[in-house]
Amino acid sequence: MEKFKPEETSLPLEEKRQVDMQFGGNVKLSMDYVNAYLMIDFCRQLSKFEEMKPIQTYEEYFSGEGKNPNILPYVLKLSDAKAIENLNSLVIDFNSDLDRIKEEKDIEAVKEFLDKIGILMKEKK
């Protein structure tokens, strides 16, 4: 998988502080990314598998709608590259199996994904 390396631009100090806070506790990945897959957990809890949608990769999430495009380079700079690679691989595998998961209402596959991604999100540098 080719790594996406956006050009770093200057961020206002306040925005840098907000991003820095997402890495509290010296974690490898921005805790803001939890929002990218939170809906999957809600759908699992409510057994609404049909409402599950593909999850954005780390880079897609931080460059997506409603995000300041200048934040992505700073987030990537603070993030652990191997952790991003592992997370994206997990997300891509989940997304490729999503149709089957929804059809079979495979709660165990969703739980396993959430457990694995939860561990990744808590890893320390």
pLDDT in tens, 6-22: 555 678 888 889 999 99
Q: Could you tell me the pLDDT band of residue 66, with boundaries at 50, 70 and 90?
A: confident
Q: What is the mean pLDDT of residues 52-79?
A: 91
Do the domain assignments include residue 1?
Answer: no
Do the domain assignments include residue 28?
Answer: yes
Do the domain assignments include residue 8?
Answer: no
Q: Residue 59: which domain range? A: 13-122
Do the domain assignments include residue 93?
Answer: yes
CA-to-CA separations, 45 to 10, 32, 41, 52, 119, in angstroms, rounded: 41, 21, 6, 12, 19
Tokens of 79: 């993030």
Do the domain assignments include residue 4?
Answer: no
Q: What is the pTM of this model?
A: 0.87
Over residues 33-48, the pLDDT tens digits come to 999 999 999 999 999 9
Do the domain assignments include residue 3?
Answer: no
Over residues 102-120, the pLDDT tens digits come to 999 999 999 999 999 999 9
Do the domain assignments include residue 5?
Answer: no
Do the domain assignments include residue 6?
Answer: no
Number of CB atoms found within 10 A of residue 28's CB: 20
Q: How many domains does the chain have?
A: 1
